[in-house]
Chain A
């Protein structure tokens, strides 16, 4: 009598050899099986960590209905508009690295009471501490910061009311909080603007329960305002540039990505409102012929981004472009993404 095993009749995608080594197409089809349908007409909102800029650009370029709540006329050259954070996401919120920032933005946009305005200064210029990179040289006055933030939040509210699906890319668990307000900051004071004072900010490295709670609260906030928006999560494959935990950057990166990925896994299994697209696995592992990193071993290569978008489209479209790597000149200069983390490296020099 032949011994029976629970692995005996599993499909090709369940085995490393057939799925990865042999790159079986049947297995590839199962890399991402969407929980909810998206079409080119579905109103998408993009947000998240640096990698989300690639998603935004590629999906917009491929004809998906990516919303733009703060549009910029093409009189302003694209590179300049992007320098001012126009067109890199669905609105000018800059990079939302953490689930806490995502929750905070949704609560502010849909809430009745505006958040306390946090203004940083540098060289006599004024910056919105919750998105300091959107005005590279800051504003003339704190009043301008306030006015710009009010317009931004109004635009985000309209965006949330219109979006049918938010594609949110989680990037980090590490975060600096303003001690007085508890607000999560995208970057430590002193990086782009403001001054670092250890009594004014608190370093946080969010745990699994905290990240999970932030995403659930974000979703609950949407529901409380009658919005049935779905949330497609991804995890940025871009490693941390620096860690403030006191540990090695390698282990700090693994912690961050593990927590984020585990939260995604839990939500996909237990919550109908969330899905997860495996851009992290596509870029960082050999599941689709990768890993796909640029020579700096940090940013994804253009080929990798193409594969991510190709597989995303393939999962939803019958006539999607091929997902496998195509010829690519690997020149990323035109499509550089904006990432405050890069500044950390500059500060290290």
Chain B
């Protein structure tokens, strides 16, 4: 059996929900899931002893972590690969920048103040490079780790977020290209692997297809919250894992995902 750990923040949920489908499609794999709240995950340490652990002083939170994971730390020494999901690469700040300023050289969005494309590019580079350096260091530049980009939010009706403004930018495709190449270039500098948000799962430059949102899976009588559009469902989780398994483990699913309910 090949042992794979899937660790990360709340975005682990989509893969966890796809657990049975993944198990069915990749029977040679033994998979462990380990999720922490985003702030805890960001502060958690991968120690020299091979354990990934967070300092959780609050007893109630510790109980909650144990309830989710069955443990508060994970021993990663014996895993062939560790897929680290839900990593945002500081995109939110970039969305804010794009939402606040007109970008010279792109279509005018009517903002009072403009910035140059060069400044946008440099800011993007600095933030993404910084994030990439930190996460590679966090996992000791160990090539067993594969860092998966957080999914782009799904289209949410009447959203007023900076992401929504960026996705609605007339040149969103150009912005998305810049993000894509910057993140790929920067992560290629590290021994850790990198799994981008898959193009096939996108409906537009910066949106994940609506059928992959958590909102799409809710019962008709349950109104979705904003996080149901920023988080994806088990179908996305399965698709993401499938790409990971193919690229890093050389595996293809033994059955089509359509034949296994996820």
The yes or no answer to A331 lying at the interface (CB within 8 A) is no
- Contacts of B96 on A, CB cut-off 8 Å? 73, 75
Q: What are 26 A-B interface contacts by the 8 Å CB criterion? A: A70-B113, A71-B113, A73-B97, A75-B93, A75-B96, A76-B97, A76-B119, A77-B126, A80-B119, A80-B123, A84-B115, A84-B116, A84-B122, A135-B119, A137-B118, A139-B104, A140-B105, A140-B117, A141-B105, A144-B104, A144-B105, A147-B104, A147-B114, A148-B116, A151-B112, A151-B114
- Contacts of B104 on A, CB cut-off 8 Å? 139-140, 144, 147-148
Known: A73-B100, A75-B93, A84-B119. 7 other contacts (CB 8 A): A76-B119, A84-B115, A138-B118, A139-B116, A139-B118, A144-B104, A147-B104
Q: A residues 40-93 with Cβ under 8 Å of B?
A: 70-73, 75-77, 80, 83-84
A83–B122 Cα gap in the complex (Å)?
A: 10
A155–B100 Cα gap in the complex (Å)?
A: 16
A155–B114 Cα gap in the complex (Å)?
A: 11
The yes or no answer to B94 lying at the interface (CB within 8 A) is yes
A83–B127 Cα gap in the complex (Å)?
A: 16
A148 near B119: Cβ-Cβ < 8 Å? no
B interface residues, Cβ below 8 angstroms from A: 93-94, 96-97, 100, 104-105, 112-119, 122-123, 126-127
**Min distance, Cβ A76 to any Cβ of chain B, angstroms:** 5
A interface residues, Cβ below 8 angstroms from B: 70-73, 75-77, 80, 83-84, 135-141, 144, 147-148, 151, 155
A73–B122 Cα gap in the complex (Å)?
A: 14
B116 near A144: Cβ-Cβ < 8 Å? yes
- Contacts of A139 on B, CB cut-off 8 Å? 104-105, 116, 118
Query: Which residue of chain B is the closest to A69 with respect to CB atoms?
Result: B113
A75 near B113: Cβ-Cβ < 8 Å? no
Tally of A-B Cβ pairs under 8 angstroms: 53
A141–B113 Cα gap in the complex (Å)?
A: 18
A151–B112 Cα gap in the complex (Å)?
A: 8
**Min distance, Cβ A315 to any Cβ of chain B, angstroms:** 35
A75 near B118: Cβ-Cβ < 8 Å? no
B122 near A151: Cβ-Cβ < 8 Å? no
- Contacts of A75 on B, CB cut-off 8 Å? 93-94, 96-97, 123, 127
A310–B12 Cα gap in the complex (Å)?
A: 54
**Min distance, Cβ A9 to any Cβ of chain B, angstroms:** 59
A142–B202 Cα gap in the complex (Å)?
A: 36
**Min distance, Cβ A253 to any Cβ of chain B, angstroms:** 35
B116 near A135: Cβ-Cβ < 8 Å? yes
**Min distance, Cβ B178 to any Cβ of chain A, angstroms:** 13
A148–B114 Cα gap in the complex (Å)?
A: 7
- Contacts of B105 on A, CB cut-off 8 Å? 139-141, 144
**Min distance, Cβ B95 to any Cβ of chain A, angstroms:** 9
B113 near A151: Cβ-Cβ < 8 Å? yes
- Contacts of B116 on A, CB cut-off 8 Å? 84, 135, 139-140, 144, 148
- Contacts of A137 on B, CB cut-off 8 Å? 118
B114 near A76: Cβ-Cβ < 8 Å? no
- Contacts of A138 on B, CB cut-off 8 Å? 118
- Contacts of B123 on A, CB cut-off 8 Å? 75-77, 80
A73–B115 Cα gap in the complex (Å)?
A: 11
**Min distance, Cβ A7 to any Cβ of chain B, angstroms:** 58
A288–B122 Cα gap in the complex (Å)?
A: 42
A141–B104 Cα gap in the complex (Å)?
A: 9
Q: 5 closest A-B pairs (Cβ-Cβ)?
A: A75-B93, A144-B104, A140-B105, A76-B123, A137-B118
Query: Which residue of chain B is the closest to A71 with respect to CB atoms?
Result: B113
